[in-house]
């Protein structure tokens, strides 16, 4: 993995903690945001090599977050994750995301997606 810094966006603290632990075990710096709104504030001030975002969150969902990134011209590799969503894989790709990772997932699945970017 050539990724040094990741932003994880999810309203579930447990998911954030798990992702943080998995990435840090690989020597990757991790920043956490609990909503799309908080994540936008973070990406305006910091650069990331990869963004992993939940789709359904109160206070700014992942789709709106990705649209705002697009408007800002931020082209960081982006992957949606979700336990349930109406967003299709094709719609995620149209937004410029790598795809959608279904929860629960294991780190090997995530690594495969990251290696493809």
**Mean pLDDT of the region 38-66:** 94
pLDDT at 78: 96
Highest mean pLDDT among 55-64, 70-79, 97-106: 70-79
Task: Count the domains in the chain.
Answer: 1
- Total-model pTM: 0.92
What percent of the chain lies above the pLDDT cut of 90?
70
pLDDT at 43: 97
List the CATH number of the domain containing 41. 3.40.50.2300
Q: Give me the domain span that covers residue 31.
A: 5-115
Q: Is the pLDDT at 25 greater than 60, yes or no?
A: yes
Beta strand 5-9 with 78-82 is unpaired
Interatomic CA distance for residues 14 and 88, integer angstroms? 25
pLDDT at 85: 77
**Residue 11, token pair as written in the block:** 């309203």
CA proximity to 9, closest of 45, 49, 84, 60? 60
């Amino acid at each position: 993995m050539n990724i040094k810094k990741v932003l994880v966006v999810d309203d579930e603290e447990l998911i954030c903690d798990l992702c943080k632990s998995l990435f840090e075990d690989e020597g990757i710096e991790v920043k956490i945001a609990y909503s799309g709104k908080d994540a936008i504030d973070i990406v305006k001030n910091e650069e990331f090599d990869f963004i992993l975002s939940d789709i359904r969150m109160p206070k700014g969902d992942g789709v709106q977050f990705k649209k705002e990134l697009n408007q800002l011209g931020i082209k960081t590799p982006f992957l949606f994750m979700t336990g349930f969503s109406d967003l299709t894989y094709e719609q995620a790709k149209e937004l410029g995301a790598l795809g959608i990772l279904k929860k629960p997932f294991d780190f090997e699945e995530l690594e495969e997606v990251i290696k493809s970017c």
